[in-house]
Amino acid sequence: MKIKTKHFGEIEFPEGAIIEFPEGIIGYPDYKRFIIIEDKDFEPFKYLQSVDNPDFALPVIDPFLIRKDYLIVVLSEEHQKIGLKSLSKEEKWVAFCVVVIEKDIKKSIVNLKAPIIINTEERKGIQVIQLTDDYDVEEPLFSKEAIEKVEGGRR
Amino acid sequence: MLVLTRKAGQSILIGKDIKIKIIGVSGNQVELGIEAPKDVLILREELIEKIKEFTKKSSERKITDSQIKNLKDVADLINK
């Protein structure tokens, strides 16, 4: 399959690469098919590229990279919609959080309130809302302290 | 839309499992008490709008070539 994307030009990928989002993502219920674009150039970020709207791509990050203690708690019904019995280590799934890239990239912000969960075996995805107050929609990618430490160490 | 008038202390029922009670009213604020099964998602509507706005903003930006050069900083922060 070939699509002409806004960010990456024309890309070609096998149908099998497509991840189905039965409910779309929050606010975009019609975007039901995505592919993951990976490139070591922009690691640790990846992109979720919409197949339904080639102009629509989201930079995302694995939340467990930036918050070692990140916890996803979903309503029982929600992960079942993508064929996962649970969110235990035995099940095959990954999580991504949507990032808004800022000019100083390490000061970007990330939506930890609504992670995207993907069943990697069945290639199905869903965006879920975390009910806890521990996470917000606009969270800093890294704490100020961590940034200062890294910048300080270089001086 | 179905519109009902209720007084403080009164409730409405939605189906068999969901009960919404008017706890109190003060000025333009209404305090609600909600009883529902655990698997029913109850949200303030603004949250959905906020997530949608965030996602829209995300889709409008891209990691530029000059930012790619700074990704080492991000990797350093992750490996801390």
Structure confidence by residue, pLDDT tens digits, A99-108: 999 998 988 9
A43 touches chain B (CB under 8 A): yes
Where does the pLDDT of residue A155 fall: very low under 50, low under 70, confident under 90, or very high at 90 and above?
A: low
| Residue from B55, B56, B71, B80 to probe the interface with A (highest A Cβ count within 10 Å) | B55
| pLDDT the model gives residue A151 | 74
Could you write out the three-class secondary structure of B42-73? CCCHHHHHHHHHHHHHHHHCCCCHHHHCCHHH
Does the distance separating the beta carbons of B48 and A27 come in below 8 Å? yes
Q: Is A8 on the interface with B (CB under 8 A)?
A: no
- Residues of B within 8 A of A42 (CB-CB) are 63, 68, 71
Highest mean pLDDT among A83-87, A144-148, B14-18: B14-18
What's the mean pLDDT in B20-29?
96
Residue A34 CA to residue A111 CA, distance in Å, equals 18
Terminal-residue alpha carbon distance, chain A: 49
The pair phi, psi for residue B64, each rounded to 5°, is -85, 165
pLDDT value, residue A109: 96
Spell out the SS3 assignment of chain A: CEEEECCCEEEECCHHHCEECCCCECCECCCCEEEEECCHHHCCCEEEEECCCCCCEEEEECHHHHCCCCCCCCCHHHHHCCCCCCCCCCCCEEEEEEEECCCCHHHCEECCCCCEEEECCCCEEEECCCCCCCCCCCEECCCHHHHHHHHHHHC
Report pLDDT digits (tens) over A90-145. 889 999 999 999 998 988 999 999 999 999 999 999 999 998 889 999 999 988 88
Residue of B nearest to A64 (CA): B78
The pLDDT tens digits of the residues spanning B44-73 come to 999 999 999 999 999 999 888 888 888 888
Condensed to tens digits (0 to 9), the pLDDT of residues A12-71 reads 999 999 999 999 999 999 999 999 999 988 989 999 999 999 999 999 999 999 998 999
A100 touches chain B (CB under 8 A): yes
Cα-flanking dihedrals φ and ψ of residue B78, to 5°? -70, -40
For the segment B2-11, the average pLDDT, to the nearest whole number, is 95
Q: What is the ipTM of this complex?
A: 0.92
pTM, to two decimals: 0.89
Mutation site for B-interface testing, chosen from A37, A105, A139 by largest number of B Cβ within 10 Å: A105
Q: Report, as an integer, the average pLDDT of B6-32.
A: 96
Of A26, A43, A105, nearest to B55 by CB-CB distance is A26
